[in-house]
Amino acid sequence: MKAVTVSFDRGRNMFKDLLKAFTNSWRMNAYIHLEIHYTKPPRQQARSYTFDANHFKLARWIDGIERDTILVDSDMICQKDISRGFDLVDHIGVCQRRGPMPYNGGVIFVKNTRKAREFMNKWLEIDAKMLADPAFHKPWHHKYAGMNQSSFGYLLENGYQDYVTVMPEEFNHCEPWDNWEKANMIHMKGKLRHCLYTTHPPEHLAPIVALWRKYKNMTLS
């Protein structure tokens, strides 16, 4: 059992800080090994850098799967070990999300099963097709947002729903940030990420910002 994250060298301190805070929090609170795949960002070849980067990240994630594996974004804070999430999963596990986007793709549980490998390979295939074909991507983007989320949603609606376990958001918690103290993982995205370097973050986000800064400033041997 292991976890895999992908870190793009984009030459910006924010992304380095996000990775440092995440890895420090993981080392303090998780029980399983975190494997970091450092890589240069892809050259933009499609409609946007974000779409290209997310597709490239998905491919690198899949390259890292060799046993039960947690695929995780690097803009996280780990508060509690999440390996127990595998107890809930048969093949693939993804967290629910409140609001217009039903799933949060920042943490994916992948069991070492034939169906899980089949799902991941099909996910990459559909993701590549959506990246190359805006007309194919558009209706799924409208419903699920993003690149990887769109192709993931397509699979759920086209014969792969039984491969996936929808997990509680405590394994990948994001806005509206209520009950964040009970979360295993906090996803530092959206408005919260924009507050990380502000002097006076909003009151409801200030404790999470303080926690992130604590891990960012840690020096672990």
Portion of the chain with pLDDT greater than 90, in percent: 65
- How many angstroms separate the CA atoms of 129 and 123, rounded? 10
**pLDDT exceeds 90 at position 66:** no
Query: 3-class SS at 107?
Result: strand
Residue-level pLDDT at 38: 83
The architecture CATH gives domain 2-216: Alpha-Beta Complex (3.90)
| Three-state secondary-structure class, residue 5 | strand
Q: Distance between CA 165 and CA 155 in Å, rounded?
A: 13
Q: Are 80 and 187 in contact (CB under 8 A)?
A: no
Backbone angles phi, psi at 23, to 5 degrees: -65, -35
Domains of the chain by residue range? 2-216
Per DSSP bridges, beta strands 164-167 and 103-110 are unpaired
31 φ, ψ (degrees, to nearest 5)? -110, -10
Q: Residue 74 burial by CB count (10 A; 0-12/13-18/19+): exposed, middle or buried?
A: buried
Rounded to a whole number of angstroms, the distance between the first and last alpha carbons of the chain is: 23
How high does pLDDT run on average in the chain? 89
Strands 2-8 and 33-39: parallel
159: left (phi over 0), alpha (psi -120 to 50) or beta: left
Q: What is the pLDDT of residue 219?
A: 86
Longest dimension (CA), the chain: 50
Q: Summarize the confidence of residues 45-55 as an average pLDDT.
A: 76
Using one digit for the tens of pLDDT, what is the confidence trace for 84-141? 999 999 999 999 888 777 888 899 999 999 999 999 999 999 999 999 999 999 999 9
DSSP state of 201: -
Number of other CB atoms surrounding residue 75 within 10 Å: 22
Residue with tokens 């009950």: 179
Per-residue pLDDT at 41: 67
